Amino acid sequence: MKKLFTLLLGVIAAVAANAVPDKMIRISTDNTDLIMHVVSNGRIYQTYYGERLDDPTALGYGSNHQEIYQGAGYDDYFEPALGIIHNDGLRCTILTYVSDEQRTIPGGTETIVRMKDEVYPVEVTLHYQAYTKENVIKAWSEIVHREKKPVTLFQFASAMLYFDKDRYFLTQYNGDWGTEGHTNTQELFFGKKIIDTKLGSRSAMYVSPYFELGLNRPATEQEGEMVLGTLGWTGNFRFCFEVDNNGVLRVVPGINPFTSDYELKPGEVFTTPEFIFTRSSHGEGEASRQIHRWARNWQVMDGRGDRMTLLNNWENTYFTFDELVLANCMREAKKLGVDLFLLDDGWFGNKHPRNNDRAGLGDWQAMEAKLPHGVPALVDSAKAAGVDFGIWIEPEMVNPKSELYEQHPDWVIQLPNRKTYYYRNQLVLDLCNPKVQDFVFSVPDQLLHENPEIKLFKWDCNSMISNAYSPYLREKQGNLYIDFTRGLYNVLQRLHKAHPDTHMMLCSGGGGRCDYEALKYFTEFWPSDNTDPVERIYMQWAYSHCFPSKVLCAHVTNWNSSTSVKFRVDVASMCKLGFDIGLKRISEQDRQFCHDAVENFNRLKPIILDGDQYRLVSPLESNHMSLMYVNPAQDKAVLFAYDIYPRYGENTQPVLLQGLDPNRTYRVVETNLLPGRKSGLSYNDRTYTGDYLMKVGLPILTSGRLVSRVLEITAE
Ligand code: DGJ
């Protein structure tokens, strides 16, 4: 009733302003429609976002509270998208329609809506790229003005979305170092809920830049109307969710305006990050599969390409190694059967050797004491061992104990008038400064010039921005967080252009960086330093809501070595498999097992890394976890099942599989078995129809503790 009344008021207000619907702008994918109407006073309203309509012409223009890019300071009393302090000191901006156009892009269409302010020379262009098959929309805006002097932006959302439902349930993914991906859902009521970060460089350390929104009720894996959203920004981001007096929810995603009043020069274009969202009528699983497919097809660096298995030396050697130790690691990598050996931190610095995290960062010359023949000799050793070579860098950072700091103290983000605060004994370089960008670019670029065979960089970032002052920006400190992130993108773009085939792992002391803008340049990311397989079950489950397995690095290590090596390997095999373990520390049988598991992974990775993922049993709702991947032809699937700490006498039910063809017959075979062991599963090597597997299911859960199994399911 209240909503009807509000709608009526909206209609009356619009009619009073002579604002009848004039023009419809329709952004469609296979299953969704996002629809806007321009009314005759020129303002543009969102009138629909939901399941695709057969006939949208009957749509009204909705409540006048749903302006697609709300300006601050006029007739709306909730969170705006855009806030500008104009040259005359006034803070009001109202945008009206100028034009719209639609063009074809790979995978879909792009709708471009141009708007302007009638009073000030301010123009805003909204972009919506709709990916037809994946039902994903990517939206961003461009803000430009021609006032005489710079204006100050105090709000600069990427887009706005509105929902008019009875109830809203927001799921967020937060944590800290080692506890990434904790999943929390809460109902939203009148007022604001903000998810944001103020960490700058290591921006996602406390919360990842994605959310889910259950509409009317919390979404489950297979049921419920919901939206999944994420922001492509490797810096301070913010999602603002505000429920207004009429129960309408607005979502305002974008760069966090916190301490970022941005000075924008006349003619300069302020481009916001991409807000990426997808909608599902059938729960979270469908939304995740849509975004996974989109990410692999259209966003992630080499998203359709292969990924390398690897052995990393960090947890095996830490800073203590030399050429002989590394050569041995490379031979172990070969024995394991992985593609690449990855040398981690500690290989550089001479005047200030990097033998711990207190010195050397910034001095990217091989440490003569450890590596007298430099990086080229390591590349040769890897070649001799028969594996590819990758190397760790952290080029945005500096230890005060380094030659770089001695030579360029003005290249560092640091306050001129206070005692410096250090996080991990290091400071952040001032990427707002083009000279610093050149330096950061030169680190991987020179390594590649001298060693073109380097196949992968692990690009780390262990500090957030503290002591927030850019010597380069001087009085324009409001631009710091934004220009820093743009400086990083300048470097990454240059690098990608110069070396388009080099794979890169994004790492930030664990999962402190994980977003879809960075993933245009990175093939994968490191979700957490915590590789305890039990913790990883929860984390990989959480990250899988927004990211495909292909970009999630999962390494077998000695964390929680009370679990079996098989359990650890099975957990890591559901994502991009790697190892960070000394092979001497495990038994011969386990070594053989790891080798066989790598072979299995190589055989199955087209399904695990490129197939559709179905989450079957949630670790958040049970003492188990299970998920499966199915290839597009539906003739091959891989299922992972883990029993964590089941209760004594727990009654486990058969698990219903998903994504198979009901009319085909599949053989179920257990794989990743310990050497010489046969499967004890009653259903091993038996055939079932897809219909049976999806309606009756298989008894894949057990009452065992910390046990796992991997099933290969093949159509006959
Ligand atoms: C933090 C990363 O998360 C680790 O994997 C490792 O690379 C260390 N940095 C090295 O300092």
* 526 CA: nearest ligand 1 atom: 3
pLDDT per residue as tens digits for the range 116-130 = 999 999 999 999 999
Give φ, ψ of 489 to 5 degrees: -65, -35
Which tokens belong to 663? 């009319």
Q: Say which DSSP state 652 is in.
A: P
Residues 6+ apart with CB under 8 A from 12: none
First and final CA of the chain: distance in angstroms? 57
Ligand 1 center–CA 571 separation, angstroms: 21
Q: What is the pLDDT of residue 64?
A: 57
Q: What is the pLDDT of residue 62?
A: 55
Q: What is the pLDDT of residue 613?
A: 98
For the chain, the average pLDDT equals 95
Q: What is the pLDDT of residue 17?
A: 43
Structural Rg of the chain based on CA atoms: 27
Ligand 1 center–CA 509 separation, angstroms: 5
Q: What is the pLDDT of residue 61?
A: 56
Distance CA 529, CA 506 (A): 13
Answer positive or negative: Cα dihedral of 304, 308, 314, 315.
positive
Q: Whose CA is nearest to atom 2 of ligand 1?
A: 509
Q: Is the CB of 460 under 6 A from ligand 1?
A: yes
Q: What is the pLDDT of residue 40?
A: 86
* 392 CA: nearest ligand 1 atom: 7
Q: Strand order of the sheet with strand 503-506? A: 524-525, 503-506, 454-459, 388-393, 340-343, 310-312, 576-579, 553-556
- Compute the CA torsion angle 532, 537, 540, 544 (nearest 10 deg): 180
Residues of the chain with pLDDT under 70: 1-21, 61-65
Q: Is the CB of 392 under 6 A from ligand 1?
A: yes
Q: Are 194 and 172 in contact (CB under 8 A)?
A: no
Ligand 1 center–CA 128 separation, angstroms: 37
Distance CA 540, CA 81 (A): 33
Which tokens belong to 338? 């992985």
Q: Whose CA is nearest to atom 4 of ligand 1?
A: 509
Ligand 1 center–CA 358 separation, angstroms: 14
Distance CA 309, CA 344 (A): 15
**Cβ atoms within 10 Å of 585's Cβ, excluding its own:** 12
Distance CA 523, CA 548 (A): 11
Distance CA 92, CA 119 (A): 10
Ligand 1 center–CA 354 separation, angstroms: 13
* 357 CA: nearest ligand 1 atom: 11
Distance CA 24, CA 674 (A): 62
List 310's β-bridge partners, or say none: 340, 578
Q: Is the CB of 221 under 6 A from ligand 1?
A: no
